[in-house]
């Protein structure tokens, strides 16, 4: 069983409680972006996001410190039991193949944010990110931050550029089940499951 967790937005204490209360049968925990981790959170003085009771995999969203992750091409343990999964990676978890494609556009609130401080042009999903999944073969689940573009009208939004790239990856992979976040409202649209903030979905 895999536990998928929605956007965290730095609510690390709440997330730690949720992870600690998961059933014993959960083999893996996967967080779908907007974790909100900053390098300062792991300093000896802070240690805000440490002490995870079991391995937690997370991807980037559009509220993450993008420069910290840029250049990583393999899953990386940031601190004990906290594993960042770069864009375009396929992992086998709980006997299933999961493709990971983090990233998202800060469209709605960009006017209130500052480039290089709390948003980065590089946070969006790119064609290069999608290309890393070329030849990945069949996957059971595509884990993204941004839903694929056809989902956006169900939430009353036009798709952003990252959503269009996620749609390309989804089509290339044969339209598998998608678990994502970003839109902050729990809803299933066909095989796409959008998680609400800190929502836990067991699959």
Contact indicator for 194, 151 with CB cutoff of 8 Å: yes
Question: Where residue 71 falls among pLDDT bands split at 50, 70, 90?
Answer: confident
Q: What is the pLDDT of residue 108?
A: 64
Model pLDDT, residue 48: 72
Q: Where residue 141 sits, what CATH number does that domain have?
A: 3.60.21.10
Token digits for 159? 């798709």
Other CB atoms within 10 A of residue 80 CB: 10
- Output the 3-class SS for 37-99: CCHHHHCCCCCCCCCCCCCEEECCCCCCCHHHHCCCCCCEEEECCEEECCCCEEEEECCEEEE
Q: What global pTM score does this model have? A: 0.94
Look up the domain containing 74 and give its range.
Answer: 2-202
Instruction: Give the total number of structural domains in the chain.
Output: 1
β-pairing, 2-5 vs 200-202, is: antiparallel
Which tokens go with 94? 């709980």
pLDDT band (50, 70, 90) for residue 37: confident
pLDDT at residue number 132: 97
Read off the pLDDT of residues 44-63 as tens digits, 9 standing for 90 and up.
777 777 778 889 999 999 88
For residue 128, the surrounding DSSP H or E stretch is helix 127-131
Mean pLDDT of 27-32: 95
Write 150-153 long-range contacts (CB < 8 A, 24+): 150/189, 151/189, 151/192, 151/194
pLDDT, one tens digit per residue, over 94-107 is: 999 999 999 999 76
Residue environment code for 105-137, b if the CB has 16+ CB neighbours within 10 A, otherwise e: bbbeeeeeeeeeebbbeebbbeeebbebbeebe
Q: Which two tokens stand for residue 53?
A: 């009771």
More confident residue, 69 or 29: 29
């Amino acid at each position: 069983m895999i536990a998928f967790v929605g956007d965290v937005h730095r609510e690390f204490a709440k997330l730690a409680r949720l992870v600690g209360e998961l059933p014993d049968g959960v083999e893996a925990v996967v967080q779908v972006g907007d974790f909100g981790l900053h390098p300062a959170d792991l300093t000896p003085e802070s240690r805000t996001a440490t002490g995870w009771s079991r391995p937690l995999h997370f991807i980037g969203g559009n509220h993450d410190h993008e420069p910290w992750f840029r250049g990583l091409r393999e899953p990386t343990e940031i601190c004990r039991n906290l594993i960042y999964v770069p864009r375009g990676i396929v992992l086998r978890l709980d006997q299933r193949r999961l493709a990971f494609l983090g990233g998202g556009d800060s469209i709605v609130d960009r006017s209130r944010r500052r480039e290089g401080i709390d948003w980065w042009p590089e946070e969006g999903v790119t064609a290069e990110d999608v290309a890393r999944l070329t030849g990945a073969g069949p996957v059971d689940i595509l884990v993204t931050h941004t839903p694929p573009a056809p989902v956006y009208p169900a939430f009353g939004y036009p798709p952003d550029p990252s959503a269009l790239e996620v749609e390309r990856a989804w089509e290339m992979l044969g339209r598998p089940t998608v678990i994502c976040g970003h839109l902050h409202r729990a809803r299933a649209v066909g095989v796409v499951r959008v998680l609400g903030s800190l929502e836990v979905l067991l699959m």
